[in-house]
């Protein structure tokens, strides 16, 4: 936050020095939108996202409440009553989420593994041999899990409501006429004491020896991922910490991680390479995290599952 605020202030000062020389008698030439940049960060931190307190949002809410007024008499009294009812309903749903009957139940073949993590279809009908289909990863399963046969799952719902997909599920649906979302890139926490960006190959369940003896044990979700390389420090520094870039390592960066370490979904875009760029910029991918994730725990969010009809 401090870096962003300092950069915006520097931009405004340079802009006003260049075009207005910062003279008080030229204040009427100053663009309000330029001066607004100075207040954007502290006001967002003090009051919340400015989009939630803007004129459009307020007028839209007033319009929705006005639509609920059914009686022509005492319109403002009726409007106040609708506001009070909506506030009461929102408060009840915040305190008792189980009262919200609009929340859909788990999809077919899903496995609730606890702590907000839910494995979703597609899944293999039976166990597959990793030696045949994933020879590069077979040694990982031998070292960490002790076996080479697993049942793959295509997707994992996270506690924040997002649905992380995998290369296996997206490739599987790409062969059909169904258009699927590409959400296989995720932020994984605490790999070698730092967060990493990774592309999910597939998800699977793992039971410890003690859990295998317990018929009621659900096991834990795991994922085979392929890590992106370390961040390009030069681009990160030149962009004031805004542009994180790295190279996709493919099968050279395979790793098994716990599903509980996956924090959120990320969007990775190829970095545009223009003539004159250094050779090390070629093949870089830049990160685009979803905005508003910090507010999800407060407001609640569940991604609409558009794959329910495609088992």
Look at residue 298 in the predicted model and tell me its pLDDT: 47
* SS3 call for 287: strand
Is-contact 147 229, C-beta < 8 A? no
C-alpha 311/C-alpha 309 separation (Å) is: 6
* CB contact set of 176 (below 8 Å; sequence gap of 6+): 310
- The 10 Å CB-count burial string (b at 16+, else e) for 235-245 is beeeeeeebbb
C-alpha 236/C-alpha 71 separation (Å) is: 59
**Nearest C-alpha neighbor of 199 from the set 80, 113, 285:** 285
**Nearest C-alpha neighbor of 152 from the set 141, 143, 161, 160:** 141
What pLDDT digit, counting tens, does each position of 47-94 carry? Answer: 777 666 666 677 788 888 888 887 778 888 888 888 999 999 989 988
Look at residue 303 in the predicted model and tell me its pLDDT: 61
Is-contact 262 156, C-beta < 8 A? yes
Q: For residues 137 and 224, which has the higher predicted lDDT (pLDDT)? A: 224
What pLDDT digit, counting tens, does each position of 246-256 carry? Answer: 999 988 889 99
- Please state the domain extents for the chain: 2-99, 111-299
C-alpha 253/C-alpha 61 separation (Å) is: 49
3-state secondary structure 49-71: CHHHHCHHHHHHHHHHHHHCCCC
Q: The whole model's pTM is what? A: 0.68
Residue 305 has φ and ψ, to the nearest 5°, of -85, 100
Angle at which helix 75-95 crosses helix 55-67, to 10 degrees, equals: 110
**Nearest C-alpha neighbor of 300 from the set 67, 119, 99, 1:** 99
What pLDDT digit, counting tens, does each position of 238-279 carry? Answer: 887 888 899 999 888 899 999 999 999 988 888 888 888 888
What pLDDT digit, counting tens, does each position of 166-222 carry? Answer: 999 888 766 555 556 678 999 998 655 466 899 999 999 887 767 666 767 777 899
Q: For residues 266 and 310, which has the higher predicted lDDT (pLDDT)? A: 266
Domain 111-299 class in CATH: mainly beta
* ∠ Cα 20 24 28 (to 5°): 65
Look at residue 294 in the predicted model and tell me its pLDDT: 53
**Nearest C-alpha neighbor of 246 from the set 257, 235, 256:** 235
What pLDDT digit, counting tens, does each position of 41-54 carry? Answer: 888 888 777 666 66
- CA 275, distance to chain mean position in Å, is 33
Residue 219 falls in which region: left (phi positive, over 0), alpha (psi -120 to 50) or beta? left
């Amino acid at each position: 936050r401090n870096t962003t605020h300092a950069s915006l202030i520097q931009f405004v000062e340079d802009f006003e020095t260049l075009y207005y020389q910062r003279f008080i008698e030229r204040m009427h030439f100053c663009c309000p939108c330029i001066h607004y940049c100075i207040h954007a960060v502290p006001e967002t931190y003090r009051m919340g996202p400015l989009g939630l307190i803007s004129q459009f949002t307020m007028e839209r809410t007033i319009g929705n409440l006005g639509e609920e007024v059914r009686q022509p008499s005492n319109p403002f009294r009726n409007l106040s009553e609708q506001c009070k009812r909506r506030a009461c309903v929102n408060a009840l749903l915040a305190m008792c989420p189980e009262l919200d009957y609009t929340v859909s139940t788990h999809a077919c073949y899903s496995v609730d593994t606890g702590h907000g993590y839910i494995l979703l279809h597609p899944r293999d009908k039976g166990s597959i041999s990793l030696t045949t289909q994933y020879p590069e990863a077979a040694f990982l399963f031998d070292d960490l899990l002790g076996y080479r046969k697993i049942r793959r799952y295509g997707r994992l719902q996270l506690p924040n409501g997002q649905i992380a997909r995998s290369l296996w599920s997206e490739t599987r649906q790409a062969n059909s006429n169904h258009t699927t979302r590409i959400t296989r890139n995720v932020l994984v926490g605490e790999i070698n004491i730092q967060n990493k960006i990774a592309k999910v190959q597939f998800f699977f369940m793992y039971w410890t020896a003690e859990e295998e003896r317990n018929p009621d044990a659900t096991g834990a979700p795991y994922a085979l991922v392929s890590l992106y390389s370390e961040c390009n420090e030069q681009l990160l520094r030149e962009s004031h910490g805004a542009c994180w870039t790295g190279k996709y390592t493919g099968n050279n960066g395979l790793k098994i991680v716990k599903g509980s370490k996956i924090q959120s979904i990320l969007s990775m875009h190829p970095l545009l390479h223009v003539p004159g760029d250094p050779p090390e910029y070629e093949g870089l991918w830049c990160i685009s995290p979803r905005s508003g994730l910090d507010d999800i725990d407060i407001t609640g969010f569940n991604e609409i599952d558009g794959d329910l009809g495609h088992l």
